[in-house]
A = this chain, B = another copy of it.
Amino acid sequence: MKLNALRRISSFFVILIIVLFTISSINFAQSNARTELKIPDIAGYKTLKCDFHMHTVFSDGDVWPTVRVEEAWREGLDAIAITDHIEVQPHKKDIPTQHNRSYEIAKPKAEELGIILIKGVEITKSMPPGHFNAIFIEDANALDSDDWREAIKAANEQGTFVIWNHPGWEAQAPNGAKWWDEHTELYEKGWFKGIEIVNWYSYYPTVHQWALEKNLTMLGNSDVHPPTNLAFNFCNGGHRPMTFVFAEDKSEAAIKEALLKKRTAVYFNELLIGEEKFLKPIVEQAIEILNPKVSVKGKGRAYIQVYNKSDLIFNLVANGNLAELSIPSEITFYPGKTSILQIKSKSTDVSGKRSLLLPYSIKNLLVAPDTGLPIDLAIEVDFVTSEN
Q: Which residues of A contact B (CB under 8 A)?
A: 1-2, 4-6, 8-9, 12-13, 16-17, 21, 23-36, 57-58, 61-64, 66-67, 70-71, 74, 91, 94-96, 98, 101, 105, 112-114, 201-203, 205, 226-227, 229-239, 269-271, 290-291, 302-303, 305, 307, 332, 334, 336-340, 369-370
Contacts and interface: CB of A to CB of B under 8 A. Distances in A.
Contacts of A58: 94
A24 B270 contact: yes
Nearest to A21: B203
A337 B36 contact: yes
Given A5-B2, A24-B271, A114 B291 contact: yes
Contacts of A26: 332
A234 B91 CA distance: 30
A231 B98 contact: no
The residue in A2, A12, A24 that gathers the most chain B C-beta atoms within 10 A of its C-beta is A24
Contact of A62 (B32, B66, B291): B66
Sort A-B residue pairs by CB-CB distance and give the 8 closest, nearest first: A5-B5, A229-B229, A28-B238, A235-B235, A227-B227, A33-B337, A34-B338, A62-B64
A31 B337 contact: yes
A184 to B, nearest CB: 25
A1 B5 contact: yes
A70 B226 contact: yes
Main DSSP-derived SS at the A contact region: mixed
A238 B36 contact: no
B270 A35 contact: no
A334 to B, nearest CB: 5
Contacts of A29: 201, 231-233, 238
B74 A64 contact: no
Contact of A64 (B31, B33, B91, B101): B91
Contacts of A231: 29-30
A381 B294 CA distance: 53
Contact of A336 (B35, B202, B234, B303): B35
Contacts of A332: 26, 31
A303 B112 contact: yes
A4 to B, nearest CB: 8
A38 to B, nearest CB: 8
Contacts of A269: 21, 24-25, 27-28
Given A32-B339, A36-B337, 4 more contacts: A62-B67, A67-B226, A114-B291, A234-B235
- Among A27, A66, A94, max chain B CB count under 10 A is at A94
B334 A31 contact: yes
25 contacts: A1-B1, A5-B6, A9-B9, A12-B12, A13-B370, A17-B205, A26-B332, A27-B233, A27-B236, A28-B236, A29-B232, A32-B340, A33-B334, A34-B305, A34-B337, A34-B338, A36-B337, A62-B66, A63-B64, A63-B67, A71-B230, A94-B95, A94-B105, A114-B291, A114-B303
